[in-house]
Amino acid sequence: MPKLKENLLDVINELAKEKGIDRDDVIQIVEEAIVAAARKKLSKYNTIEAQFNPKSGQIELFQYKRVTSVLQDPENEILLEEAQAMDESAEEGDEVEYEIEEREFNRIAQSARQLIFKKIKEAEREIIYNIFKERKGEILTGTVVRTEQGGRIAINFNKAEAYLFKREQISGERFDHGDHIRVYLMDVNNDPKQPSQLVLSRTHPGFLMKLFEMEVPEVYDDVVEVINAAREPGKRAKVSVYTTDPDVDPVGACVGMRGSRVQSIVNELRGEKIDIVRWSEDLPTYLENALAPAEIMRMEIAEEEREINVWVEQDQLSLAIGRQGQNVRLASKLLGFKINVSPVEERSTMSIEDQIALELGKERSVENEAELEKSTETSNLPKEAKSEESESTENVENEADLPEDVKGEESESTENVENETALSEEAKSEEGESTENVENEADLPEDAKSEEGESTENVENEAGLPEDVKGEEGESTENVENEAALSEEAKSEEGESEPLKKAENDLEPKMTENSL
């Protein structure tokens, strides 16, 4: 009997365990693959069958010939006499079984190997489809196997492998081998031409809604319902919630104590900001909640065209539109209406594209103003130096044009300084005379010394004079000190005039160069 492989039964058992396929299904796959390969190699035979022998653990391949009285096709027919020689009960129309030769069987087995693997993959794909088709719209947790070229990530879900493509990943996130990852199952297909049987995403709005169901017990218990969600993945999102229980705040339940519940969702979405909006059956109220914190002054709703025109105050326009139009764009997705926002003064509607262009223009103008300020500061440095130089030049010219009376005052101050110098010389001469008088007094006779003693007593008597006399003496002393201070101020003014004259002399060549 021809054999496919001595340990075929062991291979079948191991393959069934690895792929999660039933053992009988694997045996059926092998039999079908052997028959398909035999029909390609032995096309002259019309009827070929393969059977698995559980006792020997091998595959047996047979050919069948039909019993006939007139032989026309020797490969598929046998005469009645020959059939009765093998089996006396044989009749016309019966089939006689022939085992295919071992040489032919070995050729068939080699080509059947590829068919077996192909059939096993088809069976595996069918099993994955049957398992995951019931979990469509749920969050799956898997393990990162590898990151391939092009940014797609291969993820293993308990013997099922799928791809998370770059377009379905949040911008800026990165995963390494062995990391646990949560994804949203958008669809399941059974098409062998598709690169991934499971269609996964981390940017779908349903992923955000399911995260709230996992993190918020009230949502899981259907006390709070998540109505809709709109996202710009990795940047900002809006979620509308509702409850029929008057004792439950749907927004507060989703936020949690100190934002603990919503913060875990933000961390999962790599810092994506989430606005939780209270849903309402009244469309104007729902719109006001969606566009918060902007205050709406007036609105016009066209339900047939699915369009809403909104007017706000000028200072509320930027809040209503949001950064690069995010707020109004997300509110439009959340409500399912096209929203046009305009300031009250203009009374003219603006499309979302125009609103975004307006906000981008404002941001660019702010950037241009900042650049202009920087360039103005740098260009003002030499101008300030030039202004200081021109001011000094004007001062010189003004001094040259001063009237005669000012010059007279200057000459008078010079004469005062000269008079003060002459006075100081006279004082020095008087001091010298007093010194000579002291020396002469030392040579006087005793009667003169007695007179000196009397003068000394007069000095002591003067010390005993009343306070009013001393006050007059102190005032005279203060007058002397004031005169000394005046002389010092005059000298300082004279010293200050000298650098001014030097500056005037230095500026004259500069003025000549500028005039040239």
**Total domains, the chain:** 3
* Two structure tokens written together for 88: 């006396």
User: What values do phi and psi take at 30, rounded to 5?
Assistant: -65, -45
Q: Which residues on adjacent β-strands are paired with residue 201?
A: 184
Quick one: which of 55, 36, 2, 7 has its CA closest to 15? 7
Domain of residue 108 covers 8-131
Residue pLDDT, tens place only, 134-147: 899 999 999 999 99
- The answer, as to whether pTM is greater than 0.75, is no
- 363 falls within a domain: yes
In a domain, 466, yes or no: no
Q: How many other CB atoms are there within 10 angstroms of residue 275's CB atom?
A: 20
**Does 152 lie in the same domain as 125?**
no
- Residue 332, C-beta contacts closer than 8 angstroms, at least 6 positions apart: 338, 339, 352
**pLDDT tens for each residue of 275-304:** 999 999 999 999 999 998 899 999 999 989
| Cα dihedral 279, 280, 285, 287 in deg (nearest 10) | 50
Considering the domain architecture, whether residues 174 and 104 belong to the same structural domain is answered as no
Q: Is residue 435 part of a domain?
A: no
Residues ≥6 apart with Cβ < 8 Å to 325: 352, 355, 356, 359
Identity at 223, one-letter amino acid code: V
Residues 351 and 299 in one domain: yes
Establish if 350 belongs to a structural domain: yes
- pLDDT string in tens for the chain (516-residue length): 444 445 677 788 888 887 778 888 888 888 888 888 877 777 777 777 777 777 777 777 777 788 887 777 777 778 877 777 777 777 787 777 777 766 777 777 777 788 888 888 888 888 899 989 989 999 999 999 999 888 899 999 987 889 999 999 998 889 999 999 999 999 999 888 888 899 999 999 999 999 999 999 999 999 999 999 999 999 999 999 999 999 999 999 999 999 999 999 999 999 999 999 999 999 999 999 999 889 999 999 998 999 999 999 998 999 999 988 999 999 999 999 999 999 986 544 566 777 787 778 777 888 888 888 777 766 555 444 444 444 444 443 444 444 444 344 444 444 443 444 444 454 444 444 443 443 443 344 344 334 444 443 443 444 443 444 344 444 444 443 444 454 454 444 444 445 444 444 554 444 434 433
Same domain, 322 and 377: yes
- Of 149, 184, 201, the position where a domain reaches its end is 201
For 408-437, give the secondary structure using H, E and C: HHHHHHHHHHHHHHHHHHHHHHHHHHHHHH
325/171 Cα distance (integer angstroms): 19
CB atoms inside a 10 Å sphere around CB 311: 22
The answer to whether 490 and 413 are in contact (CB under 8 A) is yes
Would you say residue 425 lies in a domain?
A: no
Residues 100 and 12 in one domain: yes
- 124 and 149, same domain (yes or no): no
CATH assignment at residue 344: 3.30.300.20
**Residues 112 and 17 reside in one and the same domain:** yes
Specify whether the CB–CB gap between 31 and 59 falls below 8 A: yes
Last residue in a domain, options 82, 108, 131 = 131
The answer to whether position 213 is within a domain reads: no
Last residue of a domain, which of 201, 216, 231? 201
Residues 112 and 142 in one domain: no
Cα separation, 39 vs 303, whole angstroms: 65
DSSP-assigned beta bridge partners for residue 300? 309
Same domain? For 124 and 165 the reply is no
On whether the CB atoms of residues 429 and 437 are closer than 8 A, the answer is no
Distances from the Cα of 366 to the Cα of 317, 318, 361, 370, 371, angstroms: 17, 14, 9, 6, 9
Same structural domain for residues 151 and 166?
Answer: yes
95 and 175 fall within a common domain: no
8 Å CB contact between 53 and 65: no
| 503 found inside a domain | no
Inside any domain, residue 151: yes
- Shared domain for 125 and 151, answered yes or no, is no
CATH number of the domain that residue 195 is part of: 2.40.50.140
Residue with tokens 């975004």: 356
Characterize 450-486 residue by residue with b for buried, 16 or more Cβ atoms within 10 angstroms of its Cβ, and e for exposed: eeeeeeeeeeeeeeeeeeeeeeeeeeeeeeeeeeeee
